[in-house]
A and B are shown apart, each in its own frame.
Chain A
Amino acid sequence: MDSTINGALQQAAAQLLTEGKVGLVIGYGRANGGPSAAPAFVRRAEDAERLLFDATCFANLAVYLAKKDVRDLLRGAASQAVGVVVKGCDLRAVNVLLREHVVERSGVVLIGVRCPGVGEPLLSKCTACDVHEPQGCDVVVGEAVPQAQAEKADRYPLVAPIEEMPLDKRWAYWEEQLGSCIRCYACRQACPLCYCRRCIVEKSSPQWVETSAHLRGNLAWNAARALHLTGRCVGCGECERVCPMHLPLSALNQKMAKLVEERYGFRSGLSAEETAPFSAFAAEDTEEGIL
């Protein structure tokens, strides 16, 4: 990892705060002596020295942009804008928040980091990463990372092994996996795009999705989550990373993303100006998915 990146990051954050361009910078810091970097919330320039970037910066900080508690921190601050440190993959989530008008571009200052990948060994999303260079940020720090051409086949490595299973085995696989979901909703809470004020699973009159952690309820919940993110999910993998039961949620997400790329030629979050297939109508839309 680039050794000068921490200094550049701290300087950029301190400058934004000093100049009053932001009231808060959300970045990564070392917290509690834990092995991984943790989210850090910096409101004073002199605290910017807490910020760092390394291969343990897993969390997608875009999740905090839509959280009310974080917005409330800005009460009384000179600037209501939030600076957020984003890896290329996290930036895709910010782009979706922008395109869905959850976040206004003027309300956010994007501090991009050129990330060579996180995890030891590298996470699988990092080995197929084609967004090492964050596009469209206000500040970018870190040394350039060579960008290998990622093939489409490399983007969805978790799909093929499951698609190859005969239908009955595939069902048994998901029954076993999703059967052990405990409904803690860590997947939902860590997802930058699960920002609904009231999730469908919390709507109880009528109860659309059963909240019990039995197979029926778990299938309904996990299907609802995957479908609601279809054409939106950017594959950051946070849901799977935070799942205490280690459910293979990325496999579900990749399946949906693969379908969307195949049918609509669309990959979510590559730009904030994109039009998502399920947000727009075109006469030439494929009707394959319509029952």
Chain B
Amino acid sequence: MATTATAASLFQASAGWLAAAAEKLRAAGIEVLAPIEREQGRVDLAPLEGRNGLAANYLNTVLPLKRLSFPETEVILNYDKRENKDVALDVPSAPAGERVVLGCRPCDASALAALDQVFEWDYDDVRYRQHRERTTVVAFACTEPDGHCFCTSVGGSPQGEAGSDVLAYPTKDGGALLKPLTEKGAQLMERLEGVVQPAPEGAKLPAPPLVKPKFDPDKVKPWLDEHFEDAFWTEATLACVGCGACSYLCPTCHCFDIVDEAVWNRGERRRNWDCCSFSLFTLHASGHNPRASQAARYRQRVMHKFKYFPERFGRLACVGCGRCVRTCGVGQSLVAVLADIEARNGTGG
């Protein structure tokens, strides 16, 4: 349904605004990341230089937005063991410069809201917070979701506002309507004066495209609560070969491993993405593995997103971007598994 916004809360920009906005921000020393088509069909969030490679009609980026605050690998500590056996430690700060993401999708932005809860929970994850604080997120509302998108099944929307500082609605003429959602977003609109103008009174936001709901998470959880041990897990996950593609492409998966990489006495400690699908993930030094089968590992993935995370943080750890389903080489579908569970819940099976 189209909604009418007040002039003060809505801005508009005309065709070519993205390049102009990027130019203006860069001139102010701000890093700009936008969806760039590196190869056919492969869109990444990357520094925007000129208009070259700017993706037009992209579904989503290959890698999720999380990597800007929680990169696939990042140095968290440098160490140097001196001759007197002292160890010099250096905790590198995240880069200080501001940056603006122009054009992630609302699902990816809403995942940040989930990640914020984890990384600012019992321990203040300094690096994550530094990255988040220096980033302004402008999400582009979706106009052409595909058949794998399921944001509406997990409380999201192709025009979802969670996690974004500004939500931009592309208009047919190549321009956009922009809705600032946070203080940061309002500041960005000020900075972009000349590129964006207050929208006229009565400007209408477009209606969201249809994303058909595929399951109801409230009907999934009761079954999860009762069926930690169930033959279903084995049956539903036989095809899974245990790679990490679904987790690594997931905007909300956030498990990590910590490794030391050293040359002689000096080295760096890194935080790397890790994944509960890997057999090594829970392997104990004793040789015992509490999640010995792929079924147990897949169960963990589903339980974490649809039971444990909601119990701890009051929201799902899934935003319905559909990347896990699209990327899986053996047709393993989280959506199908959840729909199956919902059906079982209904029948008490």
A binding-site residues for B, Cβ under 8 Å: 31-32, 34, 36-39, 41, 58-59, 63, 67-70, 72-73, 182-186, 188-190, 202, 207, 210-214, 217, 238, 241-242, 244-246
Alpha-carbon gap, A202 to B244, bound state (A):
14
Q: Is B89 interfacial (CB-CB < 8 Å)?
A: no
Closest 3 CB pairs of A and B: A38-B331, A242-B329, A189-B243
User: Are A182 and B63 touching (Cβ within 8 A)?
Assistant: yes
Q: For window 262-308 of chain B, which residues contact chain A by CB distance below 8 Å?
A: 270, 272-273, 275, 278, 280, 293-295
Q: Which among A31, A70, A238 is the interface contact of B331 at CB below 8 angstroms?
A: A31
Which residues of chain A have C-beta atoms less than 8 A from B247's C-beta?
184
Task: Identify which of B26-34, B100-108, B204-212, B234-242 touches chain A.
Answer: B234-242
Q: Which among A31, A39, A63, A213 is the interface contact of B333 at CB below 8 angstroms?
A: A31
> Given A32-B333, A182-B63, are A242 and B272 neighbors across the interface (CB < 8 Å)?
no
Number of A-B contacts (CB under 8 A): 104
Known: A182-B72, A242-B329. 17 other contacts (CB 8 A): A32-B335, A38-B331, A69-B234, A69-B238, A69-B295, A183-B248, A183-B273, A184-B245, A184-B248, A186-B329, A190-B330, A210-B259, A213-B73, A214-B73, A242-B330, A246-B39, A246-B42
Q: Which among A38, A184, A210, A238 is the interface contact of B239 at CB below 8 angstroms?
A: A38
Minimum CB distance partner of A239 in chain B: B329
User: Are A185 and B331 touching (Cβ within 8 A)?
Assistant: no
Q: Is B5 interfacial (CB-CB < 8 Å)?
A: no
> Given A39-B238, A69-B293, are A184 and B244 neighbors across the interface (CB < 8 Å)?
yes
User: Are B336 and A32 touching (Cβ within 8 A)?
Assistant: yes
User: Are B273 and A39 touching (Cβ within 8 A)?
Assistant: no
Minimum CB distance partner of A69 in chain B: B294
B binding-site residues for A, Cβ under 8 Å: 39, 42, 62-63, 72-73, 234, 238-239, 241-245, 247-249, 257, 259, 261, 270, 272-273, 275, 278, 280, 293-295, 325, 327, 329-333, 335-336
Q: Which among A59, A186, A212 is the interface contact of B243 at CB below 8 angstroms?
A: A186
Chain A's nearest CB lies how many Å from the CB of B348?
Answer: 24
Q: Which among A37, A189, A210 is the interface contact of B261 at CB below 8 angstroms?
A: A210
User: Are B329 and A185 touching (Cβ within 8 A)?
Assistant: no
Q: Which among A36, A38, A185, A245 is the interface contact of B244 at CB below 8 angstroms?
A: A185
Which residues of chain B have C-beta atoms less than 8 A from A202's C-beta?
280
Which residues of chain A have C-beta atoms less than 8 A from B257's C-beta?
211
Chain B's nearest CB lies how many Å from the CB of A83?
Answer: 15
Which residues of chain A have C-beta atoms less than 8 A from B278's C-beta?
185
